Amino acid sequence: MPVYTCTAAQGTLTGESKAALAAEITRIHVAINHVPPAYVNVIFSEPPPDSVFAGGEPGAPLIVSGWVRRGHPQEEATRLALELSSAAARVTGVPEGHVMVVLQDGPARSAVEGGLVLPEPGEEKEWLARRGEFGRAS
């Protein structure tokens, strides 16, 4: 359901740190938003170093952008962003001052996964049962 894109200049993250960050993003999202781990998607984008800037200067930020379903309590969204920022710095070695986390939310009805419109927060159990009828892409 959620989609996280982690953007950092090529060479900033190792394969090991990407795997650890994907695992932490998944763990944190599952703990706060109560969805199965298999439904958390994490993608890494690594533009060349000469294509990454901060403040108009060449930089080395780690930007974690996430799309989540609208309707979760704001306190949980803020906690999610804070925990993602801390975890990103901890597992990648990028100083937290260079980590930016941006969460965008949208109506569940604006997204489709596995041929089904996403459920509203709190309606996952029925949706997952229906989703099971269609199988889960690997």
Residue ranges of alpha helices (H) inside 1-138 are: 15-33, 74-92, 124-134
Q: Are strands 99-106 and 62-69 parallel, antiparallel or unpaired?
A: parallel
**pLDDT tens readout for residues 22-55:** 999 999 999 998 888 988 999 999 999 999 998 8
pLDDT in tens, 56-89: 999 889 999 999 989 889 999 999 999 999 999 9
Q: Find the domain containing 63 and state its range.
A: 3-134
User: Domain with 21 in it: what CATH number?
Assistant: 3.30.429.10
Q: What is the pLDDT of residue 34?
A: 84
Condensed to tens digits (0 to 9), the pLDDT of residues 80-115 reads: 999 999 999 999 999 999 999 999 999 999 999 888
Question: What's the Cα-to-Cα distance from 28 to each of 42, 83, 96, 123, 133, rounded to whole Å?
Answer: 12, 7, 17, 20, 27
How many domains is the chain built from? Answer: 1
At residue 133, the pLDDT reads: 58
Rg of the chain in Å (alpha carbons): 16
Q: Which residue has the higher pLDDT, 4 or 136?
A: 4
pTM for the predicted model, two decimal places: 0.88
Please answer whether residues 62 and 84 qualify as being in contact, where contact means their C-beta atoms are separated by less than 8 angstroms: no
Q: Does residue 84 contact residue 25 with C-beta atoms inside 8 Å?
A: yes
Identify the residue with better confidence: 31 or 134: 31
